Structure 1
Amino acid sequence: MSVSIQGQGERTIVLLPGFGTSAPIIDFQPLVDELAPDYRVVVIEPFGYGYSDGTDKDRTADNIVEEVHSAVESLGIDRYILMGHSIAGLYALDYAAKYRDEVTAFVGIDSSVPGQPNMDKKFPIEAFRIAKNLGFSEILAQIQGNEDSEQSLDEATKEEMRYLVAKNNFSDTYLNEMDHLSSNFAAAIGKTFPADLPILLFAVQNSKVQGWTELHEGQAASVDHGELVLLDGDHYLHHTKSKEIAENVNRFMGELN
């Protein structure tokens, strides 16, 4: 499993990607640059992401949580802020419940929440697998770039991104996680973070997802110290709002001391 460690701060942030992010270390760099002066930032590339290996193990939330924790444990990290984008918010519910003694806070970046609409659909997995075999992922790599933004990347990094998109999009590990999305969301219904775990949620203002703000307001209200910050941007808030995210994380963590 591939990881990146940057920064020399006394407190550690473990940063997890959203589903299908081809190269999390590259994708998170704008945010890491803002956080690294104050924290040690550990970006985890789960199996099937970035330069990490694929795996035959089913992409259930439980398996993903165990694998990520094994990586964190192997680095000798036992106290940390858990931060995640998109689907990582769903996995974080199980993670925080199981390892509450290690996690000091959760920070969500437009993170997934139980009950969000349209997550019960099944995807045409075999059609995607055929597309991969026909070279569609290589074509996608030429046009997709850094998920939704690559203007800040140099040519060498853009080429690296294209390689990782071709490697990881529609891979067997990717498709297995896609196939488990509906069951992972179904299993999360009714789950909440531990009441004594502080959580800071960043969410897209005026999101097109029905009830997005209300779902995050409810999650923030479910704990003793929870806060929602709405930001104007798209789903990859850390591409354009990294400075605001870092400033609010510093403020929020400072209020806990």
Structure 2
Amino acid sequence: MKKGIKTVFKVISKIFLIVLSFAIVLTCVSIIYNKIQCKKEESFWIDTPGQMVEVDGHRMHIYSEGEGDHTIVFLSAWGDVSPYNNFLPLCRELSADARVVILERFGYGLSDVVDGERTFDKILEEDREGLVKAGIEGPYVLAPHSIAGPESILWAQKYPSEVEGIVGMDISVPAYRDEYATQKVSEDFLEKIFQETGLLRFVYGNIMAKYGKPAGEADKMELAIACRHGNNKNKISEYEHLVEALDEIVSMPLPTVPTIQYIAMQDSDPIWESGHQDLVDASENGKLIKLDCGHYVYWYEQDRIVRDIKEFLDSL
């Protein structure tokens, strides 16, 4: 009986060693392959789709196309890997009627990862400077998604002459302040391991699908960004300053600029809805639009949002 048990343990041990050896070899191959690919992918940061402007000694990527009487500036959600990739379909649809800008703040897309705390006031000043250096003058129709909402609200509060309107896409609102205060974020250790070893290259599509991005829409550039610095300190620091930004917003009157506020009803609750209604009520021409979809409203309801923005621009 004991001999049989020992035999079983020996078999299990051999299987374990074989699996472990295979995992080590696979990881080593992945690390080497990742380094080779990262070297090849440096071209994405050399030949960029948009302009690379210098702000505080760092490079910021700003893409624009189209022309017209209005300038739309898209600002991305927290953690987005490639705002350029995400917003490009909307940009293409709207650029026949307006100048459309996709601004990648530091830590996002092709822009640099920088040192220091990422307060919303600092982000706002950097983004304003970036637009000026890119030759893109206001006033702007700000189109923020999610955590970019507070930056846009602060923008309209502090520099009202620069903001012609706000199209909020399920943005973070002051009414949700207490909920945000209980949420702590930290660097995703598993994602960091996958990023450093290059294993992320083989699972990135599945990760994006988990967040609702349609399959096949992450191209080679987005994958390169994810593997280089998709998970970084700037995004963590930014989230840590969200409550501070919301507190600053409520210390001033809410903006009166015209606004559309979209909310994703699949992720909504009464506090979320009332917080967006507050922004609409403060606006001189506000509209709350409820969409039966998830948080990335512009992925699910692109045609509707394009049509609404065109009508919104005509009304300004």
- Give TM-score, length-normalised by structure 1: 0.87
User: In 2, Cα distance between the equivalents of 1:121 and 1:98?
Assistant: 28
Alpha-carbon distance, 1:131 to partner: 4.6
How many residues in Structure 1 have an aligned counterpart in Structure 2? 250
User: In 2, Cα distance between the equivalents of 1:5 and 1:85?
Assistant: 18
Larger radius of gyration: 2
Q: What whole-Å deviation, never above 9, does each CA across 1:54-80 have from its counterpart, x for those lacking one? A: 111311110000011001111231222
Percent identity for Structure 1 against Structure 2: 27
User: In 2, Cα distance between the equivalents of 1:253 and 1:29?
Assistant: 19
Q: State yes or no: 1:35 paired with 2:94.
A: yes
Residue identity matched to 1:26: N
Unaligned runs of 5+ in 1: none
Residue 174 of structure 1 aligns with which residue? Answer: 235
Alpha-carbon distance, 1:50 to partner: 0.1
Greater helix proportion: 2
- Give TM-score, length-normalised by structure 2: 0.72
Residue 218 of structure 1 aligns with which residue? Answer: 278
User: In 1, Cα distance between the equivalents of 2:233 and 2:261?
Assistant: 31
* Contact persistence 1:115–1:189 (CA under 8 A): no
User: In 1, Cα distance between the equivalents of 2:132 and 2:111?
Assistant: 17
Equivalent of residue 121 in structure 1, options 152, 167, 182: 182
Residue 267 of structure 2 aligns with which residue? Answer: 207
Alpha-carbon distance, 1:133 to partner: 5.2
User: In 1, Cα distance between the equivalents of 2:208 and 2:261?
Assistant: 27
Equivalent of residue 212 in structure 2, options 142, 145, 148: 148
Equivalent of residue 81 in structure 2, options 19, 22, 27: 22
Structure 1 runs of 4+ with >4 Å offset? 129-133
Residue identity matched to 2:118: R
Equivalent of residue 92 in structure 1, options 152, 161, 164: 152
Residue 240 of structure 1 aligns with which residue? Answer: 300
Residue identity matched to 1:205: M
User: In 1, Cα distance between the equivalents of 2:195 and 2:270?
Assistant: 31
Equivalent of residue 222 in structure 2, options 161, 165, 182: 161
Ranked by relative contact order (alpha carbons within 8 Å, sequence separation 6 or more), the top structure is: 1
User: In 1, Cα distance between the equivalents of 2:85 and 2:100?
Assistant: 13
Unaligned runs of 5+ in 2: 1-59
Task: Give me the CA root mean square deviation.
Answer: 2.3
* SS of alignment partner, residue 151 of structure 2: helix
User: In 2, Cα distance between the equivalents of 1:26 and 1:254?
Assistant: 27
